[in-house]
Amino acid sequence: MKSLLQEESSVAKAIDKAWDISGKPYEFTVKVLSNEVRNFLGILKSPAVISFSYNPKFRTDKEKVDEIRKVKKDNIKKHQRSKKNEYSKKDRVDHEMWKKELVNDIKNWTKDILKIMGFKVDFTIDTENKMLNIHLNRRILRDNEDEKMFFISLSNVLMQFLKRKYKKKFSNYYLIIHSRKLKDDKGS
């Protein structure tokens, strides 16, 4: 079971983006951690935050993916026509990349948090564009749901640390925590 946090200007956009990033799984769960907040003029004050959990084994079949892509392309074209503010490509690439300094901070904070909580577990970190993956070498909790909720909470805490230290929004950054299955797990 994998999970990720997603921030966007609306809950629907956050779910859509998380679904794309996770590889369009057939089965998934969404938990709304906070709704977007707008002022009386309709200007976004704080983004919507969701937790998106999925099992990477359950992917959509090709026909459904093609159908969904067609609908998405139509929606994207409509959205692009109505879009007023367009970032330059350079700004988007710079915003989406995990810099070495950010990765080092995440690594140190994760190590400290796991040590404080008494979990003796090694982990590796890899980045791919706007996703940062933390791979634990073993499971730390026996129950899947408990572990999933712990990963969601840990991801949220790490992102909050980044926001506080760097005094900026990380709305297009994704932090995903994975663990290996226990030997007695059967297909979950």
Render pLDDT for 62-83 as a digit per residue (tens, 0 to 9).
Answer: 556 666 666 667 666 665 565 5
Q: What is the CA radius of gyration of the chain?
A: 18
- Tens digits of residue pLDDT in 119-130: 888 999 988 877
Last residue of a domain, one of 23, 56, 86: 86
Domain finish residue from 52, 86, 120: 86
- Kindly report the number of other CB atoms within 10 A of residue 4's CB atom: 23
97 with 165, same domain: the answer is yes
Instruction: Assess whether 112 and 78 both reside in one domain.
Output: no
Segment 82-87 shows an average pLDDT of 49
**What whole-number distance in Å separates Cα of residue 148 and Cα of residue 128?**
22
The two structure tokens encoding residue 138: 């073993």
Residue 173 is predicted with a pLDDT of 83
Q: What's the CATH number where 23 sits?
A: 3.30.1660
Q: Are residues 181 and 100 in the same domain?
A: yes
Of 86, 114, 141, which marks where a domain is finished?
86
* The pLDDT value given to residue 98: 82
Give mean pLDDT, residues 97-108.
87
Q: Do 93 and 174 share a domain, yes or no?
A: yes
- pLDDT per position as a tens digit, 169-186: 877 788 888 887 645 544
For residue 97, give the CATH number of its domain.
3.30.70
Bridge partners of 178? 135
Q: Inform me whether the pLDDT recorded for 5 exceeds 80.
A: yes
Pick the more confident residue, 86 or 134: 134
pLDDT attached to residue 174: 84
Per the CB < 8 A criterion, the answer to whether 148 and 1 are in contact is yes
Strand 174-178 to 131-136 pairing = parallel
**Whether residues 100 and 181 fall in one domain:** yes
Structure confidence at residue 43 (pLDDT): 85
> Do 35 and 75 have their domain in common?
yes
Query: What is the per-residue pLDDT across 15-53, written as a single tens digit (0 to 9) for each?
Result: 999 988 888 887 888 999 998 888 888 888 889 999 998
pTM: 0.47
Are residues 13 and 105 part of one domain? no
Average pLDDT estimate for 81-106: 62
pLDDT at 93: 44
Q: Are residues 143 and 162 in the same domain?
A: yes
* Location of structure tokens 């909470």: 153
Residue 25's domain spans which residues? 1-86
- The number of folded domains in the chain is 2
The residue-averaged pLDDT of 105-129 equals 88
Pairing of strands 48-54, 28-34: antiparallel
43 and 11 in a common domain? yes
